Amino acid sequence: MFTIDTLSNKVLSSVEVGKRPWGIALSRDGKTLYSANGPSNDVAVVDLATNTVTHRVKAGTGPWGVIALGR
């Protein structure tokens, strides 16, 4: 996954979330990104302040989407 400056279209940073991320969701507060990684069979949880994967959650076979619900 890449962080892109939309004004300049330049890549600012990247983080390896897993094989072929098929779907992503952003937490309501904008601090966490969730990436469904099909061939990796997991969902990566990314802390956007540090741009690191903090957790990997097993998600069956070939997850292709994720929804972030919150209050």
For the stretch 8-62, pLDDT in tens is 999 999 999 988 998 999 999 999 999 999 999 999 999 999 999 999 999 989 8
Q: Beta strands of 1-71 (E only): which ranges?
A: 2-5, 10-14, 21-26, 32-37, 42-47, 52-58
The predicted pLDDT at position 71 comes to 65
Residue 4 lies in a domain: no
Residue 13 lies in a domain: no
Residue 6 lies in a domain: no
pTM here?
0.85
Residue 5 lies in a domain: no
Residue 2 lies in a domain: no
Residue 52 lies in a domain: yes
Range of the domain at 69: 18-71
Residue 57 lies in a domain: yes
